[in-house]
Chains A and B, each alone.
Chain A
Amino acid sequence: DAGVTQSPTHLIKTRGQQVTLRCSPKSGHDTVSWYQQALGQGPQFIFQYYEEEERQRGNFPDRFSGHQFPNYSSELNVNALLLGDSALYLCASSPGRFGAGQVFGPGTRLTVL
Chain B
Amino acid sequence: DQQVKQNSPSLSVQEGRISILNCDYTNSMFDYFLWYKKYPAEGPTFLISISSIKDKNEDGRFTVFLNKSAKHLSLHIVPSQPGDSAVYFCAASVTGNQFYFGTGTSLTVIP
By beta carbon, the residue of chain A nearest B102 is A42
- Within 8 Å by CB of A99, from B6, B43, B98, B104, lies B98
With contacts A104-B43, A107-B43 taken as known, whether A42 is within 8 angstroms of B89 at the C-beta atoms is yes
On chain A, the residues within 8 Å of B46 by CB distance are 101-103
Contact B100 A45 (CB under 8 A): yes
Q: How many residues of B contact A (CB 8 A)?
A: 24
Interface residues of A in 44-81 (CB under 8 A from B): 44-45, 48, 56, 58
Interface string of B19-31 (1 = CB under 8 A from A): 0000000000000
In the complex, per-residue mask of A76-113: 1 if CB is within 8 Å of any chain B CB, else 0: 00000000000000101000001111111111000000
Interface members, chain B 3-17 (any A CB < 8 Å): 4, 6
Which secondary structure dominates chain A's binding surface? loop
Given contacts A45-B98, A99-B93, A99-B97, contact A4 B43 (CB under 8 A): yes
Q: Which chain A residues border B93 with CB–CB below 8 Å?
A: 99
Distance between A110 CB and nearest chain B CB, rounded to angstroms: 15
Are A102 and B99 in contact, with the CB atoms below 8 A?
yes
B103 touches A106 (CB 8 A): no
Residue of A4, A43, A48, A98 near B101 (CB, 8 A) is: A43
A105 to B89, CA, bound (A): 16
Taking a contact as CB atoms under 8 Å apart, the answer to whether A45 and B99 are in contact is yes
B86 CB to closest chain A CB (Å) equals 13
Q: List 18 A-B contacts (CB under 8 A).
A: A33-B99, A35-B101, A41-B103, A42-B6, A42-B103, A42-B104, A43-B101, A44-B101, A45-B99, A48-B98, A56-B98, A98-B96, A99-B93, A100-B49, A102-B99, A103-B46, A104-B44, A106-B42
Complex A-B, nearest 9 residue pairs according to Cβ-Cβ distance, in ascending order: A104-B43, A42-B101, A98-B96, A100-B96, A43-B101, A104-B44, A42-B103, A45-B98, A106-B43
What is the interface of chain B, defined by CB distance below 8 A to chain A? 4, 6, 32, 36, 41-46, 49, 89, 91, 93, 95-104
